[in-house]
Structure 1
Amino acid sequence: MKALVVGYGSIGSRHARILAELGCEVALVTSRPTTDYPRFSTIPESISGFQPDYVVLASETAKHHAGLCELAEAGFAGRVLVEKPLFHEPRQMPQHRFQSVYVAYNLRFHPLLQKLRHLLEVETVVSVQAYVGQYLPGWRPGRDYRDGYSANGGAGGGVLRDLSHELDYLNWLLGGWRQLTALGGHYSALEISSDDVFAVMLTTVRCPVVTVQLNYLDRLTRRELVINTQQHTIGINFITGELVVDDVRQHVTAERDHTYREMHRAVVEGQADFLCTLEEGIDVVGMVAAAERAVTERRWVWK
């Protein structure tokens, strides 16, 4: 299969490497000089010159919509994976002939979430608390955090979008959001133009009380989840790989590229069970917009 990766930053290079390891013939659309893979300057040029079967849009979030429009105008009719989040603000999808469109919420493929999803099938969920925090200056050693897209709100950066995995998996596990309110913004001394802390409270189809905090400030680096059901308390620590059900603990290992590899394999093989669909990706974009609206208007926002 021919796979085209649009954008060759840290995440684009990771996608390209993993796709090559899976046996795909890889090409890039990037302005960066590289000899790693064949390189094209524009999307139309790559579609006509490379004729890919699968396209991964790994450009800045604010450029995703334009990239999809270019793919559609070029007549691309294969599979598309868009890096998360789908858009930086609610947008209409262009008219297209794509075979399928997915959003790269690869955390769904983490063994811990897979096990949790199975556990929750027979549970009545009462409350959920999710937390993710990582100190932004430590994300990419050797690179000034102020130069990254995460620091640039105009490019689609900011913690609410950057760490929207939590919003996606909560929707996925709990049947979708119904209403939410939020607090958030730029509160720290980080030299960025994007939000660095967000706290969201919401109700979902399956759970009446859900809270999630996202931040760029946690020097301990944490990603955790606690769920109370009518029968059990379930805890997950993504950093240590620990799953706790009441007083029973088990460790689940997943090497660094596992979730990305399994996500790409699912797209390539047409196994959509755990992939984030276009509709689900649009829902997360709406959730982000609702959270920002809740902050501005200081109220609950209904879906």
Structure 2
Amino acid sequence: MYPISSHQLSLAVFVVTFVTGLPLNLLAFCTFVVKARRRLLPADVLLLNLTVADLLLLAFLPVRMAEASWEMTWRMLDFLCPLFNLLFYSSIYLTTLSLMGVSIDRYLSVAFPLRYKAGRRPAYAMLAVALFWVLAFSHCSVIYVVQYQGRGNDTEGNLTRCYATFTDDQLAVLLPVRLEMFLVLFCLPLGITAFCYARFVTIIRSLPLVSRGRKRRAVGLVVATFLIFVVCFAPFNISHVVGYVEKKSPEWRSYALLLSTFNASLDPIIFYFSSSSFQKISLECLQAVWEKLQLSRVCPCVWLESPEKVATEDSQILQ
């Protein structure tokens, strides 16, 4: 029995992520659309951005699958290589920034409930989302700099690899930017998230009027978020530091990237713990899907029950 190769492992992870992540994130997107018809909150904007980031990554996974099936060679048009990688890597950091934004919203909602409720506006969350996109894309645009600084792809025979091997001149540009991405797009969001959720859990546990179920949901939200940070994003971002120290891309970097990719299947856990109303609307969406499939219809969410029928039992602690 032959050991599985790296490209076979990559193909397997990409397929599993696509098959599980696409329906879950489409369900989440549909749910947030329904919630927005009732009342749009800042947390909804941030979670919707998280969904869009996952869908952006999933949209380009078929390209990754094709690349893996070609044993990690690039057989598409040259200009698609940097464009694809820009969108792919940007989606990863949009996720870390969005998770940070959700943690800030949760903390402020319990630490300053009256003041925050009076001043919160979806427009502020939209501005934060716009900033997240600028940060992610501006940092990941180094891909274009590296790609066109020289031949960014190494050639082996007649086959060209996409954004996989680099010259010394390219590494001199790429490695410092990766280190900055580790600090700005990973460490900073992780630190802010850790502070906000530590305070969030402490305050929640001290409130006698909060039900045990909501406390469990709050703890579940925190645990799920940190598992995603540690398991999915930490190895890939640590490879930035190792690469900067060793002056080369670590050989295990591609395996760490698989964990970041699989995150697209795990983010719906964050949505599940976000609120009870999300859980109820998700069940309505699933029920609508089943009913419309029975009628051979295509889009389930257009015929959903009126959002006003959904119970609005969430307090300002978990929305």
Q: Which has the larger radius of gyration?
A: 2
The structure with higher relative contact order (CA 8 Å, sep 6+) is 2
TM-score of the superposed pair, with normalisation by structure 1: 0.26
Higher share of residues assigned helix: 2
Q: Which has the higher strand share?
A: 1
